[in-house]
Amino acid sequence: MAKLTKLTISGYRSISNPIVLDFPDGVPLVLIGENNAGKSNIVRALDLILGEMWPGSREPEDHEFWERKKASSRIEIVAEISGLNPDKYGNAITGFRWVYDAAVAEQQEFRATSSDGPKYASNEMRETCICVVIGADRKLSYQLSYTTKWTLLSKLMRKFHAHLIKDEARVKRLKDSFENIKTMFGEVAEFAGFQGELKKQFADMFVGMSYGLHVDFSAYDPSNYFHSLRMHPEEAGVVRTFEELGTGQEQLLALAFAHAYAKAFYGGIVLVIEEPEAHLHPLAQEWLRDESVKWLGMVSRLCSRAIARLSWTSSVCKD
């Protein structure tokens, strides 16, 4: 399985000179420290190069350049990844590199990296180690809605639908079956009468008008059914409302949903959780802080090189 081993960032947002993050094998990397230290910028950089949106089409905004100096700035983000498959020419791929050089006619480049220099990067390559970011706002009712196309449910629906329609024969079987179902709907006298009366009323009242109302069952069409996909909380087999959930339950369910989504559609994932302590009781936040400090102290004693200062978001760190 492909695994992220190193991330190098320079010229991006609050990061001027290159910083390097080494990702340990088999354990999480935790960024700890005060607010406005740059944690979120590291997350954004990781999402930019390995997230679900294609980096090559990304046009950075002014505030994404160091000190907003777009005219003379250069952003570079490099992700080193172990376990990537060779490309179709047999070249060993070691990761990905995204560069935006505003000083050179706004030159942008996204390439796969290898010992033989830059190579063509494909979606198939990136999907073997995709980054899924779970933001600090993990309100489950929002993530399991169609409020925007970026909610977890919206992304899940599009993935399901795309995989469904790949098989044209299956789609045809579904549509043929649904035509029989619609015929049965028409056997309901009240429904058939309503449809007929609706057409008659529009014809009588709006002569020459090209618009009307049409009864549409496409949401129930099996070939289109994922567009009406809904998710609900459940406890011991009983469907619950979102209002019945506690804040901690909401956040944990959102994390579980995001992880299942990523594992179902991608070969490997980098799961990024902003403010993982947000749902914890203050005492649990203090425990997490203390354990993180102990772990960092142990590592710093074992390692000869300095550990980059990490950042933390909880106010308990000020105590």
Q: 298 or 124: which carries more pLDDT confidence?
A: 124
Does residue 198 lie in a domain region? Answer: no
Does residue 254 lie in a domain region? Answer: no
In CATH, what number is assigned to the domain containing residue 27?
Answer: 3.40.50
Does residue 242 lie in a domain region? Answer: no
Does residue 96 lie in a domain region? Answer: yes
- Partners of 76 in the beta sheet? 10, 99
Total residues belonging to the chain: 319
pTM above 0.75, yes or no: no
Pair 221, 164: CB distance under 8 Å:
no
In the numeric block, which tokens belong to residue 74?
């250069």
pLDDT of residue 156: 85
Residue range 242-255, pLDDT digits in tens: 788 777 777 777 77
Does residue 45 lie in a domain region? Answer: yes
Residue range 72-103, pLDDT digits in tens: 788 999 999 998 888 888 889 999 999 998 77
Residue range 212-250, pLDDT digits in tens: 666 666 655 666 667 777 787 887 778 888 788 777 777
Using the predicted structure, report yes or no on whether residue 297 has a pLDDT greater than 60.
no
Does residue 120 lie in a domain region? Answer: yes
Give the pairing type, strands 130-134 and 269-273. parallel
Computed on alpha carbons and rounded to an integer, the radius of gyration of the chain in Å comes to 26
Counted domains in the chain: 1
Which domain, by its residues, includes 111? 3-139+266-318
pLDDT of residue 257: 82
Does residue 135 lie in a domain region? Answer: yes
- CA distances in angstroms from 221 to 161, 174, 182, 229, listed in the order given: 12, 8, 9, 12
Name the E strands within the chain: 3-10, 19-22, 74-82, 95-101, 107-113, 130-134, 234-235, 238-239, 269-273
Cβ partners under 8 Å of residue 88, min gap 6? none
Residue range 174-203, pLDDT digits in tens: 888 888 888 888 888 888 888 788 777 766
Using the predicted structure, report yes or no on whether residue 111 has a pLDDT greater than 90.
yes
State the CB neighbour count (10 A cutoff) for residue 144: 23
Task: Please list the alpha-helical segments (H only) found in 78-167.
Answer: 123-126, 140-143, 152-164
Does residue 239 lie in a domain region? Answer: no
Angle, helix 168-186 to helix 189-205, in steps of 10 degrees:
90
pLDDT of residue 302: 41
